[in-house]
Amino acid sequence: MIRKFKLSVAFFFTITLIMAMAFFATGFLTYLSLRSAPDQYSRPAAWLPMLGLATATVVVSIFLTFMISRTFFIPIERLIAALKKVASGNFDVRLPEQSETPEVTEMNVNFNKMVSELNSMELLQSDFIQNVSHEIKTPLSAIEGYATLLNSAPLNGELHEYANRILESTRQLSSLTGNILRLSKLENQQILPEKSLFSLDEQLRQAVLSLEPLWSAKNLDIEIDLPEVEYYGNEDLIYQVWTNLFSNAVKFTPQNGTISVKIEKAPDFVSVEIRDSGVGMAKEIQNHIFDKFYQGERNRNMEGNGLGLALVKRIVELCAGSVTVDSCPGGGSAFTVSLPYSS
């Protein structure tokens, strides 16, 4: 496999400088030779040594260029590629610690130490959050049960409102802990379990209908374009993708707005687009919208814990697919999920 190599400015400058020096040296030697014996070089055969010298100079310059690129520029390219992976959240990347130059060796060793520390901190944070979520799950269930009983008892208006707030808060915390545990489990998985063949278009219809009380309360217009598609995957996990994306669309779309759900089929994959006419989001928010616990614009009237889209991204990654967002402030948002067909 041929590796594509992009010429950086520094690399191009180095090549140009070496070649210029080589041709200058060749020209200077030719000038000295012609000046010392002008009659001798009037015969074509006399130019052969000079041509050999020029060829040797070019070969040496190419060799020096190769050695410089191998020693300095290729390790820098590897470092840049590794840093991009770390920036995207991959802390398993490592650089070779053996190099021909001490400076590159020291750079790679320190990079590997940094990534190892980041990986340890990430694992420690994930374990802590997972353990805390697991421990508070049981008392939350008890609080929610008692709040439900209290809410069903004959209470005056003020006490009834207090019971409703307790019940609402415990449900939000239960949703948070549930999402944390699900995300932690998915992060430790590499493949989707329990795959089966199911109707993707029918699953999307069920997801839309399950949230009917939410979008009908806001009088939203739901546009559906769902041709028949059979898909092979984990039905329960993929269903979570649609409910998370569609509930977000309902949440951020104002009264009397529009949400469209459509399927587009390609030979190797199927795409699902969920588009809303909501508030939209700025570019800087889009860059972090799939990060854990990230909430672009905090609003007391909008529930959420910043884990729904992180779950969506992880599930889609397990399907070897991709999820993208296209949005602008005031222009709504469109989330597109592309899922490859699997045998």
Phi-psi bin for 288: left (phi > 0), alpha (psi -120 to 50), beta? alpha
Reported as a pLDDT band with limits 50, 70 and 90, residue 274 is very high
Select from 19, 15, 31 the least CA-distant residue to 58.
Answer: 19
Q: Which of 38-42, 164-168, 175-179, 209-213 has the lowest mean pLDDT?
A: 38-42
Q: Is the separation of the CB atoms in 261 and 342 below 8 Å?
A: no
Q: Tell me how far apart the alpha carbons of residues 332 and 326 are, in angstroms, rounded to a whole number.
A: 9
Q: Which two tokens stand for residue 193?
A: 């379990």
CA 255 to chain centre: 32
Q: Which one-letter amino acid corresponds to residue 302? A: M
DSSP three-state, residue 234: coil
Reported as a pLDDT band with limits 50, 70 and 90, residue 50 is low
Q: Which of 34-38, 88-92, 179-183 has the lowest mean pLDDT?
A: 34-38
Q: Is the separation of the CB atoms in 271 and 336 below 8 Å?
A: yes
Q: What is the mean pLDDT of residues 264-283?
A: 91
DSSP string of 182-203, one letter each residue: HHHHHHT-SS-SS-EEEEHHHH
Around Cβ 41, how many Cβ atoms within 10 Å?
16
pTM of the predicted model as reported, rounded to 2 decimal places: 0.58
pLDDT of residue 3: 42
pLDDT of residue 178: 72
pLDDT of residue 201: 94
Domains and CATH numbers, the chain: 196-340 (3.30.565.10)
Select from 294, 289, 198 the least CA-distant residue to 245.
Answer: 289
pLDDT of residue 62: 67
Q: What is the mean pLDDT of residues 264-281?
A: 92
**Mean of all residue pLDDT scores within the chain:** 78
Better-scored residue on pLDDT, 103 or 266? 266
pLDDT of residue 188: 65
Reported as a pLDDT band with limits 50, 70 and 90, residue 105 is confident
Percent of the chain predicted with pLDDT > 70: 68
Q: Is the pLDDT of residue 4 over 50?
A: no
- The CA–CA distances, whole Å, from 328 to 151, 221, 279, 286 equal 42, 21, 8, 9
Q: Which parts of the chain are beta strand (E)?
A: 196-199, 221-225, 230-233, 258-265, 269-276, 322-327, 333-340
